Homo-oligomer: A and B are copies of this chain.
Amino acid sequence: MNYQYQTKRWLEIAEANKPVLNHKKIFPEKLVIINPSKTAFHGWSLIAESNAHSLFQRKLSTGDAFTLDFGEHLVGYLHFSLNLIGDAMGGPLRLKFIFGEIPAEVAEPFDSYAGTLSRAWLQDEIVTVETLPFSMVLSRRFAFQYLKVEVLAASFDYRFVFSEIYVDAVSSAPSDIDSYSLKKVSPGLKALDIVGLRTLRNGMQTVFEDGPKRDRRLWLADSPLQALTNYYSYKNYDLVKRCIYLFAALICDDGRLPACVYERPSPHKGPEFILDFSILYASTLLDYGIHSYDWESVKELWPVALKQFHFIWDHLDKRNLFKDIGKWWIFIDWHSELDKQGPMQGLILYCFHRAVALAVKIDRQDDVSHFQMASKKMTESARDSLQKSSGELFVSGEKKQISWASQIWMILGDVVSPEEGKIILKKLLNQPNAIKPATPYIYHYAVEAMLKCNLKEQALELIKYYWGGMISHGASTFWEIYDPENPDFSPYDDFLINSYCHSWSCTPSYFIRKYFADPD
């Protein structure tokens, strides 16, 4: 282990900054009915049936079921109490609780799930009740807006009622997002802002969780987007500090940063290493320093950020073009056909420039002096080899693939000027065959690129079209995956396992606050 890596100390700092969670008791709003619908999102439409309070009048028995809508996406623990209607309980009661972030999760059976991720992420629990009255807190933490309860079995000689049901909602963000929401914006922007704030709140636990339903862990390139939105809203700098220190504390022996880390039972790293994620760490530190003014921490972690670039050099070919040597996972986006060459070329340049900016801030310019030459060569080769001529769309790979990701990262990597970027982006918008983003992660950078090129109107249109599209499908938090043209898309082969409250999707609140709203 490099002497510079004071991992023990860093872990102590991370743990010292572990937040205490805020709790709020949330009651269900409505009883709802979910019906199949050919036109509705995922094929299920929601109809309000009655006020949730009427549940307490329902005398339940075998075969009965109901669905509650808690009014918004929540993360927390379900509390409930049951009472006996009858003389005695001739046999026990078997209840199934199914929690859904979206209506489809409580409407479709989990038995036929055939996705590539563990079915155990799907949120259902079976409880056997031997004595009534009965009160319970389900031990598992759930992320959901909808709760379906099925009475799997009871005996004929009694009925029972729910006498209480609520969620103990938890977050390290303030639970009252309304007081944080923007007041002086249009209703459309206000809605986007609230959903973004809620997405951020529900992912803010003892780390920035990737998704509070699925992937309940800290990811290296996802959490910085939460941090960014947090800087413009809840301003919980300690949580960011905890996260950047956790990664540094769990650095691999060879200096690579793990792509994700786990908190329990004690902090440990996941086995994944993602090349593009690792070099973004410098950019994360720069943002943290700018917003928190905690440059001491940034200085302390600088060697870690710098080390990540070490793994880049053998990915450059003779022409200084990025080449996937098959050694590490390269992410960029979940689109299965996306060629990574062009996007990586731009992303590396972006990370060089951010690292240099950071080095200037903390007076470590010498550490990055070699970045400038590399940047110059990579920029030239990008223009020479991946672009026909100025103002043309960048291509990627042997098949000269045209993608949004390539244009976005070339612009953010300063391969072209904002003016040329504007021309490119306008062309891109009229290029239906270009590989589109598959996730909010890359859409985020698309908006960043547009804003950089002074396409403010188009950026807002994109936010409204993309994140607003989720809201129009009923979202109360923004999703991990959303392809407006293929709403059932899942990189895991089953949309039920997609996360519907996801870290990298919360940035509309950041964009609106930074670019589109007057200060309140």
Chain B residue nearest to A93 in the complex (CB): B120
Smallest CB separation, A45 vs chain B (Å): 29
Residues of chain B within 8 A of A241, CB atoms compared: none
Residues of chain B within 8 A of A64, CB atoms compared: none
Residues of chain B within 8 A of A87, CB atoms compared: 268-271
B269 contacts A88, C-beta separation under 8 Å: yes
Bound Cα distance from A133 to B268, whole angstroms = 13
Chain B binder among A151-159, A187-195, A388-396, A453-461: A151-159
Residues of chain B within 8 A of A262, CB atoms compared: 88-89
B270 contacts A90, C-beta separation under 8 Å: yes
Chain B binder among A3-11, A122-130, A347-355: A122-130
Chain B residue nearest to A136 in the complex (CB): B139
Bound Cα distance from A155 to B115, whole angstroms = 11
Bound Cα distance from A262 to B132, whole angstroms = 11
Residues of chain B within 8 A of A92, CB atoms compared: 118, 120-121
Residues of chain B within 8 A of A310, CB atoms compared: none
Instruction: Kindly identify, within residues 45 to 92 of chain A, every residue whose CB is under 8 Å from any CB belonging to chain B.
Output: 62, 86-92
Provide the A154-181 mask, 1 if CB < 8 A to any CB of B, else 0. Answer: 1101000000000000000000000000
B153 contacts A119, C-beta separation under 8 Å: yes
Given contacts A118-B154, A120-B153, A128-B125, contact A133 B265 (CB under 8 A): yes
Residues of chain B within 8 A of A131, CB atoms compared: 264-265
Residues of chain B within 8 A of A120, CB atoms compared: 91-94, 128-129, 152-155
Bound Cα distance from A270 to B153, whole angstroms = 19
Smallest CB separation, A129 vs chain B (Å): 8
Provide the A253-287 mask, 1 if CB < 8 A to any CB of B, else 0. Answer: 00000000010110011110000000000000000
A434 on interface, CB distance cutoff 8 Å: no
Residues of chain B within 8 A of A118, CB atoms compared: 62, 90-94, 153-155
A91 contacts B126, C-beta separation under 8 Å: no
A117 on interface, CB distance cutoff 8 Å: yes
Smallest CB separation, A194 vs chain B (Å): 29
A140 on interface, CB distance cutoff 8 Å: yes
Bound Cα distance from A270 to B268, whole angstroms = 54
Identical chains in the assembly: 2
Chain B residue nearest to A140 in the complex (CB): B128
Bound Cα distance from A157 to B152, whole angstroms = 33
Of A130, A154, A269, most buried by chain B (CB within 10 Å of CB) is: A130
Chain B residue nearest to A151 in the complex (CB): B120
Provide the A319-363 mask, 1 if CB < 8 A to any CB of B, else 0. Answer: 000000000000000000000000000000000000000000000
Instruction: Kindly identify, within residues 460 to 481 of chain A, every residue whose CB is under 8 Å from any CB belonging to chain B.
Output: none
Bound Cα distance from A128 to B127, whole angstroms = 12
B270 contacts A88, C-beta separation under 8 Å: yes
Residues of chain B within 8 A of A89, CB atoms compared: 262
Chain B residue nearest to A139 in the complex (CB): B128
Of A91, A94, A117, A214, most buried by chain B (CB within 10 Å of CB) is: A91
Bound Cα distance from A360 to B26, whole angstroms = 67
Residues of chain B within 8 A of A154, CB atoms compared: 118, 120
Instruction: Kindly identify, within residues 195 to 218 of chain A, every residue whose CB is under 8 Å from any CB belonging to chain B.
Output: 214, 216
Instruction: Kindly identify, within residues 94 to 143 of chain A, every residue whose CB is under 8 Å from any CB belonging to chain B.
Output: 94, 117-121, 125-126, 128-133, 140
B126 contacts A126, C-beta separation under 8 Å: yes
B140 contacts A119, C-beta separation under 8 Å: no
Bound Cα distance from A120 to B158, whole angstroms = 14
Residues of chain B within 8 A of A152, CB atoms compared: 119-120
Chain B residue nearest to A121 in the complex (CB): B91
Chain B residue nearest to A89 in the complex (CB): B262
Smallest CB separation, A220 vs chain B (Å): 14
A130 contacts B140, C-beta separation under 8 Å: yes
Of A87, A132, A268, A269, most buried by chain B (CB within 10 Å of CB) is: A87
Residues of chain B within 8 A of A119, CB atoms compared: 94, 152-153
Bound Cα distance from A126 to B98, whole angstroms = 13
Bound Cα distance from A399 to B241, whole angstroms = 88
Chain B residue nearest to A96 in the complex (CB): B126
Bound Cα distance from A265 to B132, whole angstroms = 7
Bound Cα distance from A214 to B92, whole angstroms = 9
Residues of chain B within 8 A of A121, CB atoms compared: 91-92
Of A88, A133, A214, most buried by chain B (CB within 10 Å of CB) is: A88
Chain A residues close to B by CB (< 8 Å): 62, 86-94, 117-121, 125-126, 128-133, 140, 152-155, 157, 214, 216, 262, 264-265, 268-271
Q: List 11 A-B contacts (CB under 8 A).
A: A87-B269, A88-B269, A91-B120, A91-B121, A94-B118, A94-B119, A118-B154, A120-B129, A120-B154, A130-B216, A132-B265
Known: A90-B270, A92-B120, A130-B216. 13 other contacts (CB 8 A): A87-B269, A87-B271, A88-B262, A89-B262, A91-B117, A91-B121, A92-B118, A92-B121, A93-B120, A94-B120, A120-B129, A131-B265, A157-B271
